[in-house]
Structure 1
């Protein structure tokens, strides 16, 4: 079994999951309201699908996707460029003692779901699953 750099042990703790979800909601709200002083970023609609935190909660990796899937590389550059301001906004909103370092990755779960649907719609696969 291949090792995933996000899951090396028994899985995330309840605390990691809870803080990750709080960060996801806050980050989504900050991006939706256009609280960042970057007009290029404020013009984009960005979906934050998931946020995974490191065990010590010092790093938060946000999985993002621009609405419609267009401009994926641009969105990562814009988020990286505004990382400090986003970190401050999220930390202030959550009232955390230390705001985690934010990292951004493309959310590929939508592509995986499309591929799964495509595979399940094939005649050979449908025939096997109906029997």
Structure 2
């Protein structure tokens, strides 16, 4: 049995979470200042809601979302083109033995939340949920 129960279950370690948060803060700062000279990135406000770091701290997946979701694919492509520059800028601001390679992905969690909300408000699901409430009320 592993001493590190959370890692065995796929949960990130405290170190992964801490490094991810530091990377998120530095990348957000770099992108908000407009340090990257790219026409796509200069015309969009980009948020970095989360950075997921691999257990060996060699790779980091950066979840990004342009404000309003406009031109999301173009923004992710532009960030991918400038990932070495961004990695170098972050490396100057952080003191780590190895700087993780950055991989940019679109954050679709909000879209997933909206889709689930719409599914829960469908008449068939609402009817099933009402039936469950009626059964609970009859038992009490």
Change (3 A) 1:70 1:101: same
Q: Which runs of 4+ in 1 moved over 4 A?
A: none
**Structure 1 residue 90: deviation in Å?**
1.4
Any idea what the Cα deviations from partners look like across 1:16-65, whole Å, max 9, x if unmatched?
01111111111111111111232431221112121111111111110112
Using the alignment, how far apart are the partners of 1:41 and 1:60 within structure 2? 20
Verify the 8 A CA contact 2:53 2:61 in the aligned structure 1.
yes
Larger radius of gyration: 2
By percentage of residues, which structure has more helix? 2
Number of residue-to-residue matches in the alignment: 125
> TM-score by structure 2 length?
0.80
Over the residues paired in the alignment, what is the CA RMSD in angstroms? 1.9
Q: Structure 1, unaligned stretches of length 5 or more? A: 1-6
Q: Structure 2, unaligned stretches of length 5 or more? A: 1-6, 134-140
Pair 1:21-2:21 in alignment = yes
1:52-63 aligned at under 5 Å gives the runs 52-63=52-63
Counterpart residue number, 2:84: 84
